[in-house]
């Protein structure tokens, strides 16, 4: 990887918070737009998750299932498209903070690489973000998802 100025935790977390806020608003608006069909599908899935005695509140379970589906899929797709060459290597939060994702050549990664990076980032949240904290101690300020995909987050203004 070329000699570039990599970005640490502070700017990355700031960009992530902006992106999560954007995702929350987009999801809230989107849920209203296609609520009925997805809600029914979520209720069906929730029925499959219920105990024999029906202890789980069906309406609540359906709503939570829908929310989990949306909050998993939307950020992954959003991140994959915008951090790829299609989106210039920057999510909206990254644009606000002035950072971008690049591959080893210094250009935004292709869509496939960005999609894998986005999925790995989501998976790294499962152990309470411990994997993401690796960026704070890594000498190149790269997360595991960056190392596995050959990407870095750099100053977009440099």
Residue 106's domain comprises: 9-29+76-155
pLDDT at residue 148 tops 50:
yes
Q: Is residue 47 part of a domain?
A: no
Residue 43 lies inside a defined structural domain of this protein: no
> Is residue 62 scored above 80 in pLDDT?
no
Angle (CA) 18 26 152, round 5°: 40
- The answer to whether residue 69 sits within a structural domain is no
Rounded mean pLDDT, 100-118? 95
Say what the pLDDT of residue 86 is: 95
Q: What is the domain count for the chain?
A: 1
Nearest Cα to 89, choosing from 72, 64, 114? 114
Domain-embedded: residue 93: yes
In a domain, 17, yes or no: yes
Is residue 45 in some structural domain?
no
pLDDT digits (tens, 9 = 90+) for 90-106: 999 999 999 999 999 99
Residue 151: inside a domain:
yes
Give the pTM: 0.73
**18 assigned to some structural domain:** yes
The stretch 21-33 carries a mean pLDDT of 72
On average, the pLDDT of the chain sits at 80
């Amino acid at each position: 990887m070329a000699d570039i100025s990599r970005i640490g935790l502070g700017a990355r977390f700031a960009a992530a918070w902006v992106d999560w806020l954007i995702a929350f608003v987009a999801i809230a608006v989107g849920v209203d737009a296609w609520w009925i069909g997805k809600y029914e599908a979520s209720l069906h899935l929730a029925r499959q998750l219920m105990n024999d005695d029906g202890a789980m509140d069906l309406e609540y379970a359906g709503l939570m299932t829908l929310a989990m589906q949306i909050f998993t899929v939307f950020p992954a797709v959003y991140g994959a498209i915008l951090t790829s060459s299609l989106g210039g290597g920057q999510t909206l939060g990254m644009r606000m903070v002035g950072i971008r994702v690049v591959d080893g050549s210094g250009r935004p990664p292709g869509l496939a690489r960005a999609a894998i990076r986005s999925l790995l980032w989501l998976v790294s949240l499962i152990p309470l973000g411990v994997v993401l904290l690796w960026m704070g101690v890594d000498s190149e300020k790269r997360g595991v998802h960056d190392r596995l995909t050959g990407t870095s987050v750099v100053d977009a203004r440099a």
